[in-house]
Structure 1
Amino acid sequence: MSRNLLPVLALLCGTLFLFLGNGLQGLLLPVRGSQEGYSNEVLGLLGTTWASGFVIGCFVAPNVVRRIGHVRAFSGFLSLICLNVLLTGILVDQTAWLILRAITGFCTAGTSMIIESWLNERATPESRGTIFSFYISITLFGVVGGQLMVPFADISTPILFMVCGILYSIAALPTTLSKAASPQPLKRARLDLPGLFRNSPISFVGILLIGTANGAYGTLGAVFATRAGLDHSAVAAMVSITIFAGAIMQFPAGRLSDTMDRRHVLAGLSAASALAGLAVALLRPTDVYSIVILVAIYGAAANALYPIAVAHANDFAAPEDFVKVSGGLLLLYGIGTIIGPTLGGPVMSFAGPHALFAVTAVAHMLVTAYAIIRSRQRAPVPVEEREAYQTAPTSAGPLATPESLSLDPRAKNEATAEMKEAS
């Protein structure tokens, strides 16, 4: 294993610091914004603008990299991210934060795509699975580690924003100082909505709704916890345990989906997510233990949905179309994360902070209903003809880019097809 990881160890270290910064900044902004008295609508828009910038970056960043090269583009994107987070700590103004957050989302897409293309270039057929697994794990632990830094300093001061800037600066070093040759140009993002729907209607609709629910919670979960009276340590613990519970749930849920109709698994997990969300929305718990337990159940079920929906879509797609289908669904998920916080903020202002989980519950109930309907309209792919489930980027962590899918061992079929066409 160490032999497989040594060639990309520096890149993986840079990835860790990049996502430590992302995790810290992603939790710090809504908590500090709540303290400053920003409305739920504005706090929701912090997630909307970031996700919008990220999705746009997936389309535009490859052109930037093609023009100026990987190293210059990576340095430029990270410099802008670092500048933005420092300005966020200085300019405590909601309009400035929204603009800076959109730019940060765009640049995050660019840096992530460049790192992923570098890892893909250095990966061999034997090491691809190991590198892919470590990459997903590092992004997950990076985000959680960043979130857990929030209680260690006074959020009313610029200290944590400065720490975040330091983390981003360290993230730049392994790549900018590397002597490795630049990889191939980044792949252009593709989004064929009619084709995605024809291939798998439940994956299309389900992933849009899953993105809506995850986007609402991912942006406004900390706002809910703050409004519910939790201190900063409890807020960080609640948000982090959601991610860990989702990561742990990947394996049993995935194995179950390998042995039965994946749509039934989607329906069951969505129903569990909806019930946990409704329990928070209707019972309105205020003590930290009840909130953390219910939110952990919610996170375990909700964060296991995305990779199962992707696996179901790929059951009906040609093996060589894995990157095209999965990349399109990834962008569709990103669109959902734009919708979620935009809806969640006004609902929380109208019905109280616990109503955030009413938004997620409605989305998950719709997934449950549609999964059941579709399971009666189309037969599943026989178990022996399916490709085995594998966890996917974005399953329990941050948004991923279409470039990350080239690292997935399941992309080997598409690479083989492209080589045959070229020859």
Structure 2
Amino acid sequence: MPRNLLPVLSLLLGTLFLFLGNGLQGLLLPVRGTLEGYSNEVLGLLGTSWAGGFVAGCFVAPLLVRRIGHVRAFSGFGAIICMNVLVTGIVVDDVAWLTLRAVTGFCTAGTSMIIESWLNERATNESRGAIFSLYIAITLLGVVGGQLLVGIIDVSTPVLFMVCGILYCVAILPTTLSTAASPQPLKRVSLDLPSLFRNSPVSFVGILMIGIANGAYGTLVAVFAAQAGLKQAAIAVMVSITIFAGAIIQFPAGRLSDRMDRRYVLAALSGISATAGILLVLLHPMNVYVIVVLVAIYGSTANALYPIAVAHANDFAAPEDFVKVSGGLLLLFGIGTIIGPTLGGPVMTHFGPHALFAVTAVAHVSVVVYAILRSRMRAARSSAEKDNYTAAPAAITSLATPESVALDPRASADGDGR
């Protein structure tokens, strides 16, 4: 197996530094923005603009890559991201940040799709599972590692912006210096919402609600923590614990959903997430340990929902439609992440920082109600008929593209694994 991984080590190394930069920048901006006195609406729109740029990039980036090639496109996207983060540290202005964040989201989609396409091209049927698992692990470690840097270096200085720029520069090198042949052109992305809903109403509604909750939380949790009185290091640790907890619980929750109606598992996990959120709203805890525990409970269950919803959709889809369904749901999740922070910012302004979790609680209660309602209207698949559960990086990092779906070992069943 190690021999099978050698051809993609340089790509995985570039992935690590790319996600280190993404994790660092994603937490640095709301924390620094809070220090600068930006409104909650502006801080929420930072997430909205990034998610909007990312979704747009999933549609447009394949066209650009076809015109100029993988290496040139990757270098160009990476250089723009690097310049953007450096300019963000120089020009501390809310309008400039929103514009630059949208461009960064667009270019991040492009770099991610190119790396995932390259990995998919180099993977064989024997190594695909190992490469996919290693890719998920690297994305999680990269995001967490980048976030922890916020707890080490003072965010009020330009240093972290420069560190982030360095990480992006290093991420470009393995791919640009690689002698590997360029992969096939990126797949054109399509989004057929009516078809997705007909296939699985629970997955459609559930993933949209999960995207809203995760988008609001992912963008504004650092703002909530800062306004609740947590120090810079505590914020970084809290967010990182949430990611690790979510990664750990994905596997037992997924295996449980393989053995029973996935809609009940979705309802149970969503209920726990909603309960943790409601407690944060009602209790208004100011003690750092109480906040970290409740947020960890929230994050561990909330981050386990997305892959279960995708697996439920694939239970009812034909094997040859795996890439189409999973890729479409990923884009639907992206739409939710655009809506979430747009709602979360104004709600926090009017009702206080803890009200962030009122937004997430409404989304998760909606999943509970709809999943239980639909379980009375449509019979569950038997264990033999079910799709195999697989963890998904989008559940936690919100950085996966439709190309990552083709890398999933299950995609080889319909010929889209390349």
Runs of 4+ in 1 over 3 A off after TM superposition: none
- Determine the structure 2 residue equivalent to 1:73: 73
Instruction: Give the counterpart letter for 2:208 in structure 1.
Output: L
Residues 139, 398 of structure 1: 8 Å contact kept: no
- Determine the structure 1 residue equivalent to 2:399: 399
Using the alignment, how far apart are the partners of 2:218 and 2:179 within structure 1?
37
Q: TM-score normalized by structure 1?
A: 0.98
- Determine the structure 2 residue equivalent to 1:168: 168
Using the alignment, how far apart are the partners of 2:331 and 2:387 within structure 1?
22
Using the alignment, how far apart are the partners of 1:176 and 1:187 within structure 2?
21
1:378 lines up with 2:378 in the alignment: yes
Instruction: Give the counterpart letter for 1:67 in structure 2.
Output: R
Using the alignment, how far apart are the partners of 2:25 and 2:338 within structure 1?
18
Using the alignment, how far apart are the partners of 2:84 and 2:207 within structure 1?
31
- Determine the structure 1 residue equivalent to 2:364: 364
Using the alignment, how far apart are the partners of 2:409 and 2:334 within structure 1?
23
- Determine the structure 2 residue equivalent to 1:222: 222
1:140 lines up with 2:140 in the alignment: yes
- Determine the structure 2 residue equivalent to 1:349: 349
Using the alignment, how far apart are the partners of 2:231 and 2:88 within structure 1?
22
Instruction: Give the counterpart letter for 2:150 in structure 1.
Output: V
Using the alignment, how far apart are the partners of 2:281 and 2:7 within structure 1?
48
1:414, distance to aligned residue in structure 2 (A): 1.4
Residues 334, 399 of structure 1: 8 Å contact kept: no
Using the alignment, how far apart are the partners of 1:251 and 1:303 within structure 2?
11
1:6-405, aligned counterparts within 5 Å? 6-405=6-405
Using the alignment, how far apart are the partners of 1:119 and 1:24 within structure 2?
24
Equivalent position SS for 1:22: helix
Instruction: Give the counterpart letter for 2:248 in structure 1.
Output: I
Using the alignment, how far apart are the partners of 1:188 and 1:306 within structure 2?
23
Instruction: Write out per-residue CA displacement over residues 149-170 of structure 1, whole angstroms, 9 at most, x where no aligned residue.
Output: 0122221111000000000000
Using the alignment, how far apart are the partners of 2:415 and 2:181 within structure 1?
21
Instruction: Write out per-residue CA displacement over residues 211-244 of structure 1, whole angstroms, 9 at most, x where no aligned residue.
Output: 0000000000000000000000100011111111
1:247, distance to aligned residue in structure 2 (A): 0.3
Using the alignment, how far apart are the partners of 1:332 and 1:85 within structure 2?
27
Instruction: Write out per-residue CA displacement over residues 314-335 of structure 1, whole angstroms, 9 at most, x where no aligned residue.
Output: 0000001000000000000000
Residues 254, 308 of structure 2: 8 Å contact kept: yes
Instruction: Write out per-residue CA displacement over residues 52-71 of structure 1, whole angstroms, 9 at most, x where no aligned residue.
Output: 00000000000000000000
Using the alignment, how far apart are the partners of 2:371 and 2:399 within structure 1?
24
Residues 315, 387 of structure 1: 8 Å contact kept: yes
Identical-residue share of aligned pairs (%): 76
1:286, distance to aligned residue in structure 2 (A): 0.6
Residues 4, 130 of structure 1: 8 Å contact kept: no
Residues 276, 295 of structure 1: 8 Å contact kept: yes
Using the alignment, how far apart are the partners of 1:66 and 1:102 within structure 2?
22
1:190, distance to aligned residue in structure 2 (A): 1.2
Equivalent position SS for 1:395: helix
Instruction: Give the counterpart letter for 1:54 in structure 2.
Output: F
1:398, distance to aligned residue in structure 2 (A): 2.9
Using the alignment, how far apart are the partners of 2:388 and 2:327 within structure 1?
18
Q: TM-score normalized by structure 2?
A: 0.99
Using the alignment, how far apart are the partners of 2:71 and 2:224 within structure 1?
40
Instruction: Write out per-residue CA displacement over residues 112-137 of structure 1, whole angstroms, 9 at most, x where no aligned residue.
Output: 00000000010000000000000011
1:387, distance to aligned residue in structure 2 (A): 2.1
Instruction: Give the counterpart letter for 2:194 in structure 1.
Output: P
Using the alignment, how far apart are the partners of 1:341 and 1:333 within structure 2?
13
Unaligned runs of 5+ in 1: none
Question: How many pairs does the alignment contain?
Answer: 418
1:397, distance to aligned residue in structure 2 (A): 2.1
Instruction: Give the counterpart letter for 1:344 in structure 2.
Output: G
Using the alignment, how far apart are the partners of 2:388 and 2:86 within structure 1?
44
Equivalent position SS for 1:152: coil
Instruction: Write out per-residue CA displacement over residues 155-201 of structure 1, whole angstroms, 9 at most, x where no aligned residue.
Output: 11110000000000000000000011100000111100000000000
Using the alignment, how far apart are the partners of 1:9 and 1:55 within structure 2?
28
Residues 140, 393 of structure 2: 8 Å contact kept: no
Using the alignment, how far apart are the partners of 1:387 and 1:308 within structure 2?
10
Unaligned runs of 5+ in 2: none
Equivalent position SS for 1:210: helix
1:383, distance to aligned residue in structure 2 (A): 1.0
- Please tell me the root mean square deviation across aligned C-alpha atoms, in Å: 0.9
Residues 306, 395 of structure 2: 8 Å contact kept: yes
Residues 216, 340 of structure 1: 8 Å contact kept: yes
Instruction: Give the counterpart letter for 2:402 in structure 1.
Output: P
